[in-house]
Amino acid sequence: MVKGKGEEKVSVQYSLFFIQRFKGKVLFNVPMSEYTSLKIGGPADVMAFPQDEGDLKDLIAFAEAKNFPFYILGAGTNLLVRDGGFRGIIVNMTEGFKDIIWQEDKAIVGAGIKLSETVAQCRERGLSGLEFAVGIPGTIGGAVAMNAGAYGSEMKDVVDGIEIINKKGQKKFIPASELGFSYRKAEIPKGAVVARVHMKFEKTTPDAVRDKIKEFTEKRRTSSKVTYPNAGSMFKNPEGLFAGKLIEDAGLKGERSGEAQVSEIHANYIVNLGKAKAKDVLALMALIRDRIFSQKGIVLEPEIKVVGED
Ligand SMILES: Cc1cc2nc3c(=O)[nH]c(=O)nc-3n(C[C@H](O)[C@H](O)[C@H](O)COP(=O)(O)OP(=O)(O)OC[C@H]3O[C@@H](n4cnc5c(N)ncnc54)[C@H](O)[C@@H]3O)c2cc1C
């Protein structure tokens, strides 16, 4: 169970008050392998599924008061959880925050909604801008936090701003201009949870959007053939280069550590052949980085997030 430094200071009544008020599900000792696309990760002490802003505020206040670490989880498609799991609370955003409010060429999209669902709704409405995201399996919240992108477009191009709940439990709107978007990164205040994303699109026709989606789907043909569990690209592309090409040229395609393997289809993907451990994936990542650095003098930066304990 969770242990926090300030736990003794918090009254039992407070915990009971929180438990009675919280509308979402709360699970204990949850294997993170069931919540990540890599299908890897030890147990999280607690996983809570806030249903709405009230739940989120209560949950953050509770975690802060008890001094419990917490980590925000979207679809877990860019995440490696270590084998020892996570000591604290995983805030799972995929069961609440599922609303989309459309206003002509704009939308306010709940953080828990899948990118694919948003792309599909844009297609029906003839709204262009998010087609690049077809085939990216995350949530809108995760996509903003990662500034997810593909083929020259990224979330930054379609985001007007975000609604967050900060670690004091306050709701704030942050305009895109203050999000410091860069390659696979947004500067979201530490400990804040993205609740909703304000998005803007270009009005066109459903057919035009459909054509673009088809074009991007075609471009994704190679990587979509990777069938083993994975987390997409493991490393960021160095300026002007492709990490996958560097890894392939270094002869590392198919390289294994335990049951983790550099994909034989897409060299920047590491796949779980069955019972891979986080330590296997991390060993393979270290091998790749060492090899590319010694051969090319290039330091590959991980794209995936790594959390938890060994
Ligand atoms: C097959 C495959 C293909 C992929 N292709 C691409 C691609 O082309 N381009 C690309 O950019 N990525 C790609 N990815 C990676 C991944 O899908 C994206 O990064 C996605 O946006 C992550 O969303 P998620 O909901 O899964 O986030 P998670 O993996 O759950 O979390 C990622 C990070 O975002 C944070 N986060 C999640 N939700 C919130 C929230 N509501 N508030 C605050 N922080 C939050 C988490 O704490 C974590 O740090 C791919 C992955 C796979 C498996």
pLDDT per residue as tens digits for the range 65-82: 888 999 999 999 999 999
pLDDT for 14: 65
Active site residue 153: no
Q: Given 131, 154, 255, 303, which residue is catalytic?
A: 303
What CATH class is the domain 7-92?
alpha beta
Residue 8 to residue 293: CA distance in whole angstroms? 48
Q: Report whether residue 142 contacts ligand 1, using a CB cutoff of 6 Å.
A: yes
Give Rg (Cα) of the chain.
Answer: 20
The answer to whether the beta carbons of residues 109 and 195 sit under 8 Å apart is: no
> What pTM was estimated for this model as a whole?
0.94
Q: How far apart are the first and last CA of the chain?
A: 17
Residue 182 to residue 178: CA distance in whole angstroms? 12
Please tell me the distance between residue 230's alpha carbon and the centre of ligand 1 in angstroms: 12
Active site residue 257: no
pLDDT for 5: 46
pLDDT for 2: 47
- 2-55, pLDDT tens digit by residue? 444 444 444 566 676 677 789 999 999 999 999 999 999 999 999 999 999 999
Q: Given 233, 255, 257, 263, which residue is catalytic?
A: 233
CATH number of 226-307: 3.90.78.10
pLDDT for 16: 63
Per-domain residue ranges of the chain: 7-92, 100-219, 226-307
Least confident of 96-100, 133-137, 220-224, 231-235: 220-224
pLDDT for 10: 47
Strand ranges (E), the chain = 26-31, 43-48, 70-73, 79-81, 86-92, 100-103, 106-110, 127-128, 149-150, 153-154, 159-165, 171-175, 193-200, 202-203, 256-257, 260-262, 270-272, 305-307
Least confident of 50-64, 180-194, 257-271: 50-64
Ligand 1: residue of 49, 72, 92 to mutate (most ligand atoms within 8 A of CB) is 72
Q: Which atom of ligand 1 is nearest to the CA of 115?
A: 21
User: Which residues partner with 260 through β-bridges?
Assistant: 257, 272
Whether the per-residue pLDDT at 199 is higher than 80: the answer is: yes
- 107-125, pLDDT tens digit by residue? 999 999 999 999 999 999 9
Q: Given 128, 184, 196, 257, which residue is catalytic?
A: 184
Active site residue 303: yes
Residue 22 to residue 240: CA distance in whole angstroms? 48
Q: Report whether residue 243 contacts ligand 1, using a CB cutoff of 6 Å.
A: no
Q: Report whether residue 74 contacts ligand 1, using a CB cutoff of 6 Å.
A: yes
Tell me the Ramachandran region of residue 147: left when phi exceeds 0, alpha when psi lies from -120 to 50, beta otherwise.
left
Whether the domain at 7-92 and the domain at 100-219 fall into the same CATH topology: no
CATH number of 100-219: 3.30.465.10
